[in-house]
Amino acid sequence: MNVPQIRLESTCAKIGLTIHKPVQEIHQQPADLMIKQPKAELQIDRTPSQLTIDQTEAWADMDLKHISRRIEEFAQQGYEDWLTGLARMAQEGEDLMRIEDGGNPIPEHAKTNSESPIYEFNIGFIPSANSVKINYQPSEVKLNWHTHKPEIEVQMNKPVHQYKPGSVDIDLIQKPSLSIDFVGLHVDEKSKG
């Protein structure tokens, strides 16, 4: 016995996806930085040290004197000798004026004036101690400085941003279909007419 059948045959639709990924590019330029550091100002004031050595007295102790000093000493010595001689002559005149008081002034004066003077001498050092005078004045240093702050300039650069969005392309690779077939079905010719 033939039973009529309906046969259905279908094919599914196929979709194709083409994906384009997004592209993002970011470039960040470094900041432009300019730094200036002015030099510090330094001023140094210095007075030189001074050393003075005076050995005039040491040379004088060795009888090596300047001519002007010799002239001055000779003049002073002559003046003192003149005063001493003047005092001696005044005393001798006074003694002679009072001869009536007794004594024998003329022979005493002759004896005193004819004797050599007695010089006293002890141990001496040439040159004498502390005859060289030393004076030292140290130098003075004064520092004066002035610092300057650094000059900093910053120019920021914005980032360069490029973005290409992604996309999806959808294609229909295979269309859906449905085929219907009847099997074992007889159609009566009479009923057609």
Residue 133 resides in a domain: no
Residue 94 resides in a domain: yes
Q: What is the pLDDT of residues 48-106, one digit of tens each?
A: 999 999 988 888 888 888 888 889 989 999 999 999 989 988 988 888 888 887 778 88
* pLDDT computed for residue 192 by the predictor: 54
Q: How far apart are CA 193 and CA 189, in angstroms?
A: 7
Residue 67 resides in a domain: yes
Residue 186 resides in a domain: no
Q: What is the pLDDT of residues 109-136, one digit of tens each?
A: 888 888 887 877 777 777 888 888 999 9
Q: How far apart are CA 151 and CA 35, in angstroms?
A: 6
* pLDDT computed for residue 191 by the predictor: 55
β-partners of residue 143 are 44
Whether residue 137 is predicted with pLDDT greater than 90 in this model: the reply is: yes
Residue 192 resides in a domain: no
Residue 45 resides in a domain: no
Q: What is the overall mean pLDDT for the chain?
A: 86
User: Average pLDDT for residues 28-48, to the nearest whole number?
Assistant: 92
Residue 78 resides in a domain: yes
Exposed (0-12), middle (13-18) or buried (19+): which is 95, by Cβ within 10 Å?
A: middle
Tokens matching residue 156: 């920021």
Residue 151 resides in a domain: no
State the total domains in the chain: 1
Whether residue 193 is predicted with pLDDT greater than 90 in this model: the reply is: no
Q: What domain range is 73 assigned to?
A: 60-114
Q: How far apart are CA 69 and CA 75, in angstroms?
A: 10
